[in-house]
Amino acid sequence: MKVFDDSLPFSKKPGLHELEFYPRLFAFSKGNMRRLRVLINYAAVEAILNKDDELNMEHFMAGYRYHMEHITKKDQIDSAEKLEAQPNPFDTPVEELEFRQMESTSYWKMDARKGESRIIPAKYTRLIPLRSLLKRR
């Protein structure tokens, strides 16, 4: 998260690696780096279009809304979870967020039978309690 933070073109860094952001970013991305990068890009564009010199929670709320309005069924991170069931993690209290992480990535099944999907979706864990996510080693 620090690398993303340092690469953003704002005079004031948002602190994506800090407690205010990282649980929310993880709740959204479920550990999927592409999904995370896309959201950060949407939020950054929002800030740039507003001529803001920092990236804040409002930009992430808007980026999330834009993402969810423009996502298609094939782009869903977890086809078992309906889009409307995914709350905006940037306007939800952290203690109410649900956390999952990727167990296996999606992949292309070369030997799929006729009528069978060649794209095998990623698999995700059951819910992870917030205390486990925030535990320091």
Phi, psi of 6, deg, nearest 5: -70, -25
Could you report the per-residue pLDDT of 70-118, keeping only the tens digit for each? Answer: 876 555 555 555 556 678 899 988 888 888 888 888 888 888 888 888 8
With beta carbons less than 8 A apart as the criterion, state whether 106 and 87 touch.
no
In this prediction, residue 34 carries a pLDDT of: 85
d(CA 20, CA 18): 6
- The reported pTM is 0.77
Could you report the per-residue pLDDT of 37-59, keeping only the tens digit for each? Answer: 999 999 999 999 999 999 999 99
In the block, residue with structure tokens 């564009």: 45
